[in-house]
Amino acid sequence: MSRIDEPVPGEPDSAAGAAGCWLHGVAREVDPATLAGGTGMDGGPLRAVPAAGLVAVVSTAPLAEYGEEALRRNLEDLAWLERAARTHHEVVAALSRTGAVVPTRLATVYRDERGVARLLAERRADLAATLDRLAGRTEWGVKGYVVPGLPARATAPVGAEGAGAAYLRRRRAELSCRDEGQRAAAQAGAAVHDALAGYAAAARRHAPQDRRLSGAPTAMVLNGAYLVDVAGLDGFTALVAALARRHAELRLELTGPWPAYSFAQDDPPRPALTVREPAW
């Protein structure tokens, strides 16, 4: 099992100037240019921690902001959370552009580099196997949104049943039409996921996002993640386009490539970041 979410307890948050190591991800090797071009959680440089034939990328995490007590407060602050998640994601994304990387969950902080090196030594076999599985592949997301149909129309004349009764019947028909449309979209979402999962090297179906998070005007019925061979990307995007034409009740949105957040662990992870950047 490759989960890097068991940090060594840090120093007390109140210790003046105390700092830990924020762990971004693990790779087999890291391009020095990637480290030089990146920015850590404190705005400072990234650092490589080599051990057991692997390399962890870390940055300084002042415990006044990233210690256990401080994190408990800050994770309730959506603006702070967005900034931290985006900084972490930018480092992981830069690493993934040069090779396979096992990204860590948000807010994985170790006491010092010795704790990070110990992690690499203790879990080398699992981490190496995960890196082998991710090599030459990237994660792509496909979201499916309901395309609303036309509301049902009343067929009986108003005079035959009264304006109030006609309104209630028409309203029931509209609600029935909406519910049927959502059921059809949900079935189409399942069919789309099955088709994409059959093409991809691996697939995950995450819980649909709330409209307030997705920013979409209609309900999401598919929130899929797919691990795709780089060599097979053209075929995957063509399949998404074909499925979009086949299922008019869905609006499909393809996003990526992403670091393999959904496939770096054995259990479905909780998404740490939402960035709306559709590929087409």
Pick from 141, 155, 144, 114: nearest CA to 7: 114
pLDDT-derived band at 167, boundaries 50, 70, 90: low
The SS3 call for residue 204 is: strand
Higher pLDDT, 33 or 274: 33
Per-residue b or e along 212-245, where b marks 16 or more CB atoms closer than 10 Å to that residue's CB: eebebebbbbbbbbbbbeeeeeeebbebbeebbe
Residue 50 and residue 26 in contact, taking contact as beta carbons nearer than 8 Å? no
At residue 146, what is the residue type?
V
The most confident of the ranges 74-78, 118-122, 184-188 is 118-122
The SS3 call for residue 201 is: coil
Q: List, in order of start, the domains of the chain with CATH numbers.
A: 19-134 (no CATH), 137-148+181-263 (3.30.70.1710)
Q: What is the pLDDT of residue 211?
A: 72
Percent of the chain with pLDDT over 90: 61
Quickly tell me which residue has 């649909």 as its tokens.
208
Pick from 18, 95, 97, 3: nearest CA to 56: 95
pLDDT in tens, 185-239: 889 999 999 999 999 999 999 998 887 767 778 889 999 999 999 999 999 999 9
| Token pair listed for 109 | 């902080």
pLDDT-derived band at 277, boundaries 50, 70, 90: very low
Q: What is the pLDDT of residue 179?
A: 61
pLDDT-derived band at 8, boundaries 50, 70, 90: very low
